[in-house]
Amino acid sequence: MELTLPQIWLIVGLVMLVAELASVLLVFVFFAIGALLTSLLAALGLLPSFESQILAFSAISLVSLIALRKHARSLMEKKEAPGYREFVGETALVIKDIPNNGEGKIYYRGAEWKAVSVHHTPIIAGSKVVITRTDGIVLIVEES
């Protein structure tokens, strides 16, 4: 069984999609778009020669890269996990002094957490604080 050029472009496009799934580069998807559209255009008879298919593949891949990469990147950017929002507004107990420009420790939900003062003011151990936001595993607090 001999493969036609549209079938080869289809296979190349599918391989590029699989490569994109295996990587986090967000590059292969644009080559996949180029290969799949080239396959379609070649199957419709709009790109009869191999040279025209190579040019179409290159142009479509480049145009899709320029037009869609910024939008695709914004969709892929890591958003703050919604689970951390549940801490906001909760009260905790300072167990190690929080210096004005450093980290201390608070006791919250049965565990010790690193904490930083939201206003960069010192908070002494034994004080109650309110969690205003999170920064990774560090809780940003203010004295209540």
| Non-local CB neighbours of 107 within 8 Å, separated by 6+ positions | 92, 93, 94, 95, 113
pLDDT value of position 82: 53
Which residues span the domain enclosing 55?
Answer: 5-76
Looking at the structure, do residues 62 and 113 belong to the same domain, yes or no? no
- Domain total of the chain: 2
Tokens 């936001």 -> residue: 133
SS3 for 84-114, per residue? Answer: HHHHCCCEEEEEECECCCCCEEEEECCEEEE
Could you report the per-residue pLDDT of 78-128, keeping only the tens digit for each? 655 555 577 888 999 999 999 988 899 999 988 999 999 999 899 999 999
Among the candidates 76, 110, 130, a domain finishes at: 76
The token duo for 16 is 């590029």
pLDDT value of position 84: 59
**What is the value of pTM for the model shown?**
0.54
For residue 115, what is the domain's CATH number?
2.40.50.140
Could you report the per-residue pLDDT of 49-72, keeping only the tens digit for each? 999 999 999 999 999 999 988 887
Among the candidates 76, 93, 113, a domain finishes at: 76
Looking at the structure, do residues 54 and 96 belong to the same domain, yes or no? no
Nearest to 117 by CA among 78, 144, 79: 144
The token duo for 79 is 């958003």
